Amino acid sequence: MARVCAVCGKGPTFGHNVSNANNRTTRRWYPNLQAVRVLVDGAPKRIRVCAACLRSNKIQKAPKKLKAAVGAA
């Protein structure tokens, strides 16, 4: 599964780990992705969205699932 935001397309960025001896090895920084239920064409769907898109309200969360009434008499 790709580590990419479904809304803005934010993905991993690249750089280096730098040791005290100034040795450089490649590393990656990953976006803060969260799995959320959103409304897509009126139907709830689970997608991975970065935290920045969640905070800026770029998506509309789906309502919580309603549980059936148990023992209603």
Domain range summary for the chain, segments of one domain joined by +? 1-62
For residue 5, what are its two tokens? 């935001």
Q: pTM value?
A: 0.76
CA distance 73 to 71: 6
**pLDDT tens string for the chain (73 positions)?**
789 999 999 999 999 999 999 999 999 999 999 999 998 888 899 999 999 999 999 998 998 876 666 666 5
Topology, domain 1-62: Ribosomal Protein L24e; Chain: T; (2.30.170)
Residue 40, pLDDT score: 86
Q: Which residues contact 6 (CB under 8 A, 6 or more apart)?
A: 47, 48, 49
